[in-house]
């Protein structure tokens, strides 16, 4: 057996070297909201910088102190300031933008709605009055479980109007997941739909909600939006239709005053213990951060039509469909359904229809579009696009190039954004009028943000090295705590690299990264998606990017499996393009392709060809299941999968290929 290096002190290997660069065009920079790199110097004094940005929103009374970090890691921003976020998102726009469209809604079946800022203001007020009539008060928690329809952002804003705290549960989650989140938040009211449209099918949300609420003693009322007008069971005294609730309500409602640090929402994320973590965000700091980043990362102008394809059930939808765009008086598109209904050109049809200028979507979607081919975007005029962005996971360079050439036509800056549920808003991203981009790199931290890459001991790694991405000082939109569990908050996010005895607090939420010789950050995915092969810590993303770089590959997922000699071996699962046939010759070609792109150490020990990869309903690849398959373990929970049947097929193929691939090394 070869000698294995000590694991301690080893950082993530930075193997791939992307050399292509794309500078902003002079014409784009000339009109950009931010066109000078001096903004980064301003951001070095981050407290002063974020005080200046606070003028972006409306305050009822000012702060006594910009930042209180005396009880680190529990931050307070804009201390003692008073506001209600809906006054920044609605009221202040009425005089100058009352007739401007706030939301264009595109239903999956083809129905449409348009809401101006004035109409949205009145709808929010009516629903806020309705919720108040049900007993909702400041500080109460409201659970929301809906499809992507206008009543979803209305529900968030109505909650905020009352000073209540909303907890949105993604409409693709099971009734058990909904139950657990309602119970943790002790929500008083649940807002849901009769059904939701998804891929041409009706999803029985009310039925799932009923099942959950049976075990939720805190729920007093259930409000049901009639999306499909399906007949649904309505519990006497508990359930009420949305349209009945607001029918007699006034369309005026004074906003409840809140403190800058009052909670605006709780959003649950998966925890390593299996117990969801209730990420709690504040009011004032969160809105300042989302407003600044939305306006400047996407270079928003007053006449722009902006579309973020995320679901409001995730933080991306909170920050970049609801709060950021509305605070900036922006016109947005909301789409209810999937990108391939009724055909694979639905997204491009929507862009052409509404003349979308900024488009923000996920790398998973982009790789799917690549697999489908260029014929679908080529059916439509995409010339309205000015800026295109990515969110949710690192994007591999070849997907970036395809996005640039096929969707952006080589003229749209790409903003590859890194942030998390916990950070509240974008943290690392290009500024499109300033930053020279590199395919696959989120580039550098935004002004006012402190980030570093450290090794196992917490020491900053030199340029060209890889390690753990950390944030080095507080920021306005940061999570304030884990709901009802401050000790877990400290341990999970601040326990790894902080030195409390030195009053040095460092945030780490589990992502690996490398920094090239120009100081650009390259996100490498979760640290638990880092493989240790013969002592080399190799990112799954880099191997996946190398596989997708091959002309035959549409999508790839890579996991590490136990190996008696190397510690871990690389197991790859590959979806091929079009009519490409997966055979032994292609398998060997792909292994050598990875060896050429990265090095022999990264060559997959096994490759399984599969028509699909197991994904959650939000589109994320379930690598946990792929690890189970690779280790020939009993498969874990698949209730959140959108394509559960594919797991059994992959397991069978893996078993069949295992013996033939065992002797290839």
Structural tokens at position 397: 């360079």
For the residues 398-402, what does the mean pLDDT come to?
94
- Tens digits of residue pLDDT in 349-388: 999 999 999 999 998 899 889 989 999 999 999 999 999 9
What pLDDT, in 10s, does the model give residues 24-71?
Answer: 999 999 999 999 999 999 999 999 999 999 999 999 999 999 999 999
Note the pTM of the prediction, 2 decimals. 0.85
- Distance (Å, whole) CA 398 – CA 404: 10
Alpha carbon distance 164, 48 (integer Å): 30
Residue with tokens 């806020």: 128
Contact assessment for residue 208 and residue 174, using Cβ atoms and an 8 Å cutoff = yes
Residues contacting 86, CB < 8 A, separation 6+? 124, 157, 160, 161, 255
Q: Are 608 and 660 in contact (CB under 8 A)?
A: no
Pairing of strands 358-361, 387-390: parallel
Domain 26-486 CATH assignment equals 3.40.50.12780:
yes
Contact 603, 594 (CB under 8 A): yes
For residue 543, which of 607, 466, 597 has the smallest C-alpha distance?
597
Quote the pLDDT of residue 640: 46
pLDDT at 661 > cutoff 60: no
What are 556-587's pLDDT values in tens digits? Answer: 999 988 876 777 889 999 999 988 889 999 99
Mark residue 274 as left, alpha or beta (left: phi above 0; alpha: psi -120 to 50; beta: remaining). Answer: left
The domain spans of the chain are 26-486, 530-661
pLDDT bucket at 646, cuts 50 / 70 / 90 = low
Can you read off the two tokens belonging to residue 209?
Answer: 């909600």
Task: Report the pLDDT averaged over residues 226-250.
Answer: 98
Strand partners, 469: 453
Please choose, from the candidates 640, 623, 643, the residue with its C-alpha nearest in 3D space to the C-alpha of residue 631: 623
**pLDDT per position as a tens digit, 161-207:** 999 999 999 988 888 889 999 999 999 999 999 999 999 999 999 99
**Structure tokens that stand for 483 in this block:** 């709901």
Secondary structure E strands in 11-111: 65-68, 76-79, 82-83, 101-106
pLDDT of 663 higher than 70: no
Average pLDDT, the chain: 91
pLDDT at 3 over 50: no
pLDDT, position 453: 97
Q: If pLDDT is split at 50, 70 and 90, which confidence band does 270 have?
A: low
| pLDDT of the residue at 642 | 53
Q: How many CB atoms lie within 10 A of CB 412?
A: 22
Q: What CATH code is assigned to 530-661?
A: 3.30.300.30
Q: Which residue is associated with the tokens 């000790």? A: 487
pLDDT digits (tens, 9 = 90+) for 13-24: 655 667 899 999
């Amino acid at each position: 057996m070869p000698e294995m290096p000590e694991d301690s002190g080893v950082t993530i290997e930075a193997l791939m070297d992307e050399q292509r660069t794309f500078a902003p065009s002079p014409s784009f920079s000339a009109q950009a909201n931010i066109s000078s790199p001096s903004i980064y110097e301003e951001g070095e004094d981050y407290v002063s910088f974020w005080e200046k940005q606070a003028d972006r929103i409306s305050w009822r009374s000012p702060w006594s102190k910009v930042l209180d970090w005396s009880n680190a890691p529990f931050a307070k921003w804009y201390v003692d300031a008073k506001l209600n976020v809906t006054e920044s998102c609605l009221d202040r726009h009425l005089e100058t933008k009352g007739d401007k469209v706030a939301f264009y809604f595109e239903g999956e079946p083809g129905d449409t709605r348009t809401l101006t800022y004035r109409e949205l203001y009145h709808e929010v007020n009516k629903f806020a009055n309705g919720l108040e009539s049900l007993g909702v008060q400041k500080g109460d928690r409201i659970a929301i479980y809906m499809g992507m329809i206008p009543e979803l952002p209305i529900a968030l804003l109505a909650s905020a109007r009352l000073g209540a705290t909303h907890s949105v549960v993604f409409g693709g989650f099971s009734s058990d997941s909904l139950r657990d989140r309602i119970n943790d938040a002790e929500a008083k009211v649940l807002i849901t739909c009769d059904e939701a449209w998804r891929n041409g099918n009706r999803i029985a949300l009310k039925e799932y909600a009923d099942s959950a609420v049976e075990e939720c003693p805190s729920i007093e009322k259930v409000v049901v939006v009639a999306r499909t007008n399906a007949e649904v069971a309505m519990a006497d005294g508990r359930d009420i239709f949305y349209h009945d609730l607001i029918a007699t309500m006034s369309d005026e409602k004074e906003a409840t005053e809140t403190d800058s640090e009052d909670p605006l929402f709780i959003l649950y994320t998966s925890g390593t213990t299996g117990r969801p973590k209730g990420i709690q965000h504040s009011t004032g700091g969160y809105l300042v951060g989302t407003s600044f980043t939305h306006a400047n990362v996407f270079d928003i102008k007053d006449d722009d039509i902006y579309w973020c394809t995320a679901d409001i059930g995730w933080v991306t939808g909170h920050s970049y469909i609801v709060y950021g765009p509305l605070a900036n008086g922006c016109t947005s598109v909301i789409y209810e359904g999937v990108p391939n209904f009724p055909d694979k050109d639905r997204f491009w049809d929507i862009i052409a229809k509404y003349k979308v200028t900024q488009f923000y979507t996920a790398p998973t979607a982009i790789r799917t579009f690549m697999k489908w081919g260029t014929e679908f975007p080529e059916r439509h005029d995409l010339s309205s696009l000015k800026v295109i962005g990515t969110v949710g996971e690192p994007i591999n360079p070849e997907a970036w190039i395809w996005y640039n050439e096929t969707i952006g036509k080589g003229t749209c800056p790409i903003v590859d954004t890194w942030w998390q549920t916990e950070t509240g808003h974008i943290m690392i991203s290009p500024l499109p009028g300033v930053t020279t981009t590199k395919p696959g790199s989120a580039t550098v931290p935004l002004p006012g943000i402190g980030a570093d890459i450290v090794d196992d001991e917490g020491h900053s790694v030199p340029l060209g090295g890889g390690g753990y991405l950390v944030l080095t000082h507080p920021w306005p939109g940061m999570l304030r705590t884990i709901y009802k569990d401050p000790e877990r908050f400290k341990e999970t996010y601040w326990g790894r690299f902080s030195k409390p005895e030195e009053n040095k607090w460092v945030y780490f939420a589990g992502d690996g990264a490398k920094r090239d010789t120009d100081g650009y950050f390259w996100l490498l995915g979760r640290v638990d998606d880092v493989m240790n092969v013969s002592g080399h810590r190799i990112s799954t993303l880099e191997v996946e990017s190398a596989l997708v770089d091959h002309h035959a590959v549409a999508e790839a997922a890579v996991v590490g499996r136990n190996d008696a000699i190397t510690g871990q071996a690389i197991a790859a699962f590959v979806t091929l393009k079009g009519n490409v046939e997966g055979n032994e010759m292609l398998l060997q070609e792909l292994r050598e392709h990875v060896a050429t792109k990265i090095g022999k150490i990264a060559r997959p020990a096994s490759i399984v060809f599969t028509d699909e990869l197991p994904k959650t309903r939000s589109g994320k690849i379930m690598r946990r299941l792929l690890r189970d398959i690779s280790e020939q373990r009993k498969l874990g929970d698949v209730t959140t999968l959108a394509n559960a049947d594919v797991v059994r097929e992959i397991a069978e193929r893996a078993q069949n290929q295992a013996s033939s691939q065992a002797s290839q090394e």
